[in-house]
Amino acid sequence: MIRSVVFLFFLLFFQPVLCLAELRGTGDLGVIIERASHSALIINTSDRSILSRIEGLGDVSHASVVFSRDQRYAYIFGRDGGLSIIDLLSGKIVKRILQAGNSIGGAISQDGKLIAVSNYTPGGVKIFSGDTLELLADIPAFYNDKQRSKVIGLVDAPGQRFICSLFDAGEMWLIDVKNPKQPKIKKFQNIGKQPYDALLTPDGRYYLAGLFGEPGLALLDLWNTEAGVKRILGDYGKHETKLPVYKMPHLEGWTIAGNRMFVPAVGQHEVLVVNTVNWQLIKRIAVAGQPVFVMARPDGRQIWVNFALPDNHQLQIIDVKNMELIKTLTPGKAVLHMEFTPRGENVWVSVRDENKIVIYDTNSFAIEKNLTANKPSGIFFTSRANQLGL
């Protein structure tokens, strides 16, 4: 009898403590894509550890990731048109569909209920329910005489909207999804030749698309869409010989620091600094090679830059205050991606050809830890769930 009472006491008073010990928050979790093995790692940024590996994700050679508002679920967009939901707590695939032939990325809506995917083949945008992946809208990217364009630079925007660019058509589309089964599309034509990637400023006001077919950027003010798309930096590199481009630069990283925008130059070994008040060029900063990602530390004090071949073994850091290079690092062969921890004390760097993740202290530039990963590429932390345009 006494033994039974003691056991009952234990169940009543100690079991909740044991259950709590098994719980885990999601705010310091993230996903690292392993591009060669169709897999992804779930990681913990506080412990700097790998928690689990999820396999069976298809072609993730150019995968991107967005997170649900509660930061529990990750949506992975694969190059093979795959769209997968993974549960970061259970480490399992919740659902996976093949929604197109060739996909380049996606976004989650402002209210967290809709997932949009941008497709190369067939060109267009599809809108899905975030819970079930039910197809709600299929928007083909027609232009001219029923030709279909590749869609790039898809991001979420305030007002329950998505915005994207059409590579072949030279257009921007602003898509209102308040009624997701009947989206309203506002088209901006003749924005420039071959927009290749785009970004939304952190305040959600400006959408900028880089142009590959001609110099400059295309800029849309979402506070004043009636003014149309404005061209900026149109004279940059106009009379200079373009160097070979071995990998397209990416704009979809926070390259805004205060009232300055840091942009990877196409066909030049430079980072451009632009005044975001008047959109004029302030400075051209010479760097080691063709920039790919030009990313600001969360406090906006540093810009970290990685490069295309043959300089992709390097990272360079720009001090925003003086707009000068302050450090060159050599993490290893094929640096593909970077991601800052939410408050910027660390940056995680994927080094594909050496099968590792290098974690740097962003103040001392010292390596704090190396993690083993199979051909790692994209790194995505759950803090993105609370940021516009990512």
Cβ-based neighbour number of residue 175 at 10 Å: 22
Residue 226 three-state SS: helix
Q: How many angstroms separate the first and last alpha carbons of the chain?
A: 60
pLDDT of residue 9: 47
DSSP string for residues in 106-129: EEE-TTS-EEEEEEEETTEEEEEE
Tokens found for residue 110: 């402002």
Residues 6+ apart with CB under 8 A from 193: 170, 211, 212, 213, 214
Architecture of the domain made up of 101-240: 7 Propeller (2.130)
Residue-wise burial string across 261-290, b where 16 or more C-beta atoms lie within 10 A, e elsewhere: bbbbbbbbebbbbbebeebeeeeebebbbb
Three-point CA angle 330, 256, 241, nearest 5°: 65
Question: Which residues are paired to 207 by β-bridges?
Answer: 200, 220
pLDDT of residue 359: 98
Edge-to-edge strands, sheet with 171-176: 151-157, 161-166, 171-176, 184-188
pLDDT of residue 373: 98
DSSP string for residues in 69-97: TTS-EEEEE-TTSEEEEEETTTTEEEEEE
Three-point CA angle 90, 96, 101, nearest 5°: 150
Cβ-based neighbour number of residue 124 at 10 Å: 21
Residue 276 three-state SS: coil
pLDDT of residue 11: 47
Continuous segment of H or E residues that includes residue 307: strand 302-307
Continuous segment of H or E residues that includes residue 58: none
pLDDT of residue 235: 81
pLDDT of residue 258: 83
Using CA atoms, how far apart are residues 33 and 155, in angstroms rounded to an integer?
A: 20
Using CA atoms, how far apart are residues 334 and 375, in angstroms rounded to an integer?
A: 10
Which residue in this structure is represented by tokens 């900063």? Answer: 285
Alpha-carbon radius of gyration of the chain: 22
Report the share of the chain in percent with pLDDT over 90: 82
Low-confidence ranges of the chain (pLDDT < 50): 1-3, 5-21
pLDDT of residue 19: 45
pLDDT digits (tens, 9 = 90+) for 319-372: 999 999 999 999 999 999 999 999 999 999 999 999 999 999 999 999 999 999
Tokens found for residue 326: 């302050």
This prediction has a pTM of 0.92
Q: Please give the single-letter amino acid code of residue 221.
A: D
Using CA atoms, how far apart are residues 153 and 167, in angstroms rounded to an integer?
A: 9
